[in-house]
A and B are shown apart, each in its own frame.
Chain A
Amino acid sequence: MNRRDLVTSVAAMMAISLAAPAFAQDEPLKVGFIYVGPVGDGGWTYQHDLGRQAIEAEYGDRVETTFIESVPEGADAERALTQLALAGNTLIFATSFGFMDPVMNVAAKFPDVKFEHATGYKRADNVATYDARFYEGRAVMGTIAGRMTESNKIGYIGSFPIPEVIQGINSSFIHARKVNPEVEMKVVWAYSWFDPAKEADAASALLAEGVDVILQHTDSTAPLAKAQEAGAIGFGQASDMAAFKPSPRVSSIIDNWAPYYIERVGAMLDGSWTSKATWAGIAEGEVEIGEITDAVPAEVKQEALALKDQIASGEYHPFTGPLNKADGSAWLAEGQVATDEELSGMNFYVEGITAEIPQ
């Protein structure tokens, strides 16, 4: 409450100092959020909440935001979304993949409310989707992983076998193998986005298999803690996880939702909001690469940053042929680039990963 009061009063002071209350002070735009985890998870939900705070900082008293945290994916999400819609929120962000069907159901009942669903693929006139090209960041992490591993085994803790996660596994593996042809990838599915104890167990299982670099697509710092115990390295996921610098956390993928949230709320305020699918990456600043620490040799760091720049400039796409699928069938020919449709439905590993995707 204090922070909101502060933001409001700062905004009020700015309005006074401008001496011209340009916009008529009618009802503020009410914006709602549902989060899959607690705002204090230090990862995924934390980053979304930073985006929410950025909206308040940007638009001051023209907007009013609320959030409901730790909403389970499934039927309960429908209740939370309905509650937000009934409370007068006209723009609602649902920030997890599993909220997809609840969003579609509730959106059908509230045609005047606009919904934004993160990482999903179902849209309607009042449902837009947005996603980040995490796989671009994974390419950079994969490069570092391939160079840093001594056992030539890198581990990946997956959350759920959905396209977003599979893209990350493939992208990491492709780029690790590019710099180190000996690399093998071990994948463990935690079947949770946030379960510190289970993530720790998953990391221990990978370490026991001889893995010395761990990538994670789950949101807690538990895998980093386990990596540290075993002298292995890992990467921050969703947020920087800076407490584990300089090692085991040697770099990180940071989700920066603030620019997108500010843009969409702005569109609501000036009436230009339309349903669309947004998929932004490193170039737009939605996917950031956290500081690469000195635990990584300078030439590896340079190589990783060069790759990041190439991706940002559009010169290089992480899924560029020749690439085969894990079953040996051809996927992309030399120089061919994967389409967004192929990526958003990705349900196969690339050649070289020997595991199988649970169905």
Chain B
Amino acid sequence: MIDPLSVFLLLVAAATPILFAALGELVVERAGVLNLGVEGMMIAGALSGFAAAHATGNPFVGFLAAAVGGAAISLLFALLTQVLLANQVASGLALTLFGLGLAALFGKPLEGIKAPSMTAGPLGISWIVWLGLAMVPLIWWFLNRSRAGLILRGVGENHDAAHALGYPVHLVRGAAIAFGGAMAGVGGAFISIATVLQWTEGMTAGAGWIALAIVVFSNWTAVGVLAGAWLFGGVTVLQLRLQAAGIKVPVQLLSMAPYLATIIVLVLISARQKFSRRAGGAAPGSLGQNFHALR
């Protein structure tokens, strides 16, 4: 009754905003920075992307502007945590609140306007969805096979050692934060430009927090992020499809499923870590700690 391919295509599209944001946050966290401002960066991207798409009539220019907007607001976080050495958790939360408020303020004149339509890519799926999928192997390759990725991971695992080896810890982290901001911005813009086609205040509706959870769920790996995003997106889409098809399943149970799955995975991860420290990904050693060069 339900065609699995159509469910899969819906799932992939539904997972795209959180996939972008979570991939960005993955790189940030692998550099040892915990940026809780994902939601703020997403909404900034949603607004700047929408504004640019509306002004130019070209959605792709909009996505470019969203990346710039997300990166710009994330630099504020970089300034606070990397230059002024402020607490990362507090700065990240502030970034979320600031982003939501700022976007609401600047978004006022854009309310009620419709975004230009996008042309779909192959299989009737937006090009941005394809871009999101392409980012998964790219980021995997960057983190695990490239020299720059090795340096970034080194900075994240042990910033003192990286510093002693002569790597610019704050610069690497600043670049990672900006990249994370750009990715979150594109994810947010996918909601405003490709999904809703309008600007509304608070339209990311908590997607940034799910993205943060997915990074933990993924055990800090790119493939894990994809799996997490698809699980969240998939269960959401599937439960709506089952409802639309009139199949009688307890809706509440399905709504709970992604969160249950997260808890189970977290338990499994921590159990595995207990017996063998460092299996594959796991949390970067310097995650959430600021670096201050004493020598």
Contact = CB atoms under 8 A, between A and B. Distances in A.
Interface of A: 37-42, 70, 155, 186-192, 194-198, 200-202, 204-206, 208-209, 211, 220-222, 225-226, 228-229, 242-244, 354-356, 358
Contacts, number: 118
A354 B245 CA distance: 11
Most buried by B among A211, A225, A226: A225
A39 B201 contact: yes
B205 A194 contact: yes
Contacts of A190: 240
B243 to A, nearest CB: 5
B129 interface: no
A186 B246 contact: yes
Contacts of B191: 196-197
Interface stretch (B108-116, B139-147, B148-156): B108-116
27 contacts: A38-B104, A38-B201, A40-B108, A40-B201, A42-B111, A42-B198, A188-B243, A191-B255, A194-B202, A196-B191, A196-B205, A197-B17, A197-B196, A197-B205, A198-B240, A202-B244, A204-B13, A204-B14, A204-B237, A205-B241, A205-B243, A205-B244, A220-B198, A222-B197, A226-B195, A228-B197, A355-B246
Interface of B: 3, 6-7, 10, 13-14, 17, 104, 107-108, 111-114, 117, 191, 195-198, 200-205, 207, 236-237, 240-241, 243-246, 248, 250-252, 255
B244 A206 contact: yes
Given A70-B202, A358-B252, A201 B14 contact: yes
A225 B255 contact: no
Nearest to B199: A40
Contacts of A228: 117, 197
A229 B245 CA distance: 21
B240 A188 contact: yes
Q: Is the interface of B mostly helix, strand, loop or mixed?
A: helix
A38 B240 CA distance: 25
Given A42-B112, A186-B246, A205-B10, A221 B241 contact: no
A201 B200 contact: no
B209 to A, nearest CB: 13
A201 B237 contact: yes
Contact of B14 (A37, A42, A197, A211): A197
